[in-house]
Amino acid sequence: MSSIFEGKTVLITGGTGSFGKRFITRLLKEHNPGKVIVFSRDELKQSEMAMDFTDPRMRFFIGNVRDEDRLRRAFNGVDIVIHAAALKQVPAAEYNPDECVKTNVLGAMNIVNAALDRGVSHVMALSTDKAALPCNLYGATKLASDKLFTAANNMSGAGGTKFGVVRYGNVIGSRGSVVPFFERLVKEGAKELPITDTRMTRFWITLDQGIDLVFEGLERMHGGEIFVKKIPSMNVVDLAEAIAPGIPHKIIGIRPGEKLHELMCPEDSAHQTIEFKDHFVIMPTTTSFGSNIDYTTDLKGEKGTFVAEGFEYKSNTNPDFLTVQQLRDLLGYSADKLTKSA
Which residues participate in catalysis according to the annotation?
Answer: 130
Residue type, 71: L
Residue 60 contacts residue 46 (beta carbons within 8 Å): yes
Could you give the CA distance from residue 124 to residue 139 in angstroms, rounded to a whole number?
18
Helical H segments across the chain, by residue range? 18-30, 43-52, 68-74, 90-95, 97-101, 107-118, 137-156, 178-187, 207-220, 236-243, 324-331, 335-341
Cα distance between residue 154 and residue 81, in whole Å = 18
Strands 233-235 vs 201-203: parallel, antiparallel or unpaired: antiparallel
Q: What are phi and psi of 174, to 5 degrees?
A: -75, 170
Rounded CA separation 318/215 (Å): 24
Strands 226-229 and 162-167 turn out to be parallel
**SS3 of residue 257 by DSSP:** coil
- Which residues are CB-neighbours of 273 under 8 A, at least 6 positions away? 265, 280, 281, 282, 283, 306, 307, 311, 313
Residue 55 and residue 98 in contact, taking contact as beta carbons nearer than 8 Å: no
The residues near 156 (Cβ < 8 Å, ≥ 6 apart) are 116, 162, 163, 223, 289
HEC letters along 95-164: HCHHHHHHHHHHHHHHHHHHHHHHCCCEEEEECCHHHCCCCCHHHHHHHHHHHHHHHHHHHHCCCCCEEE
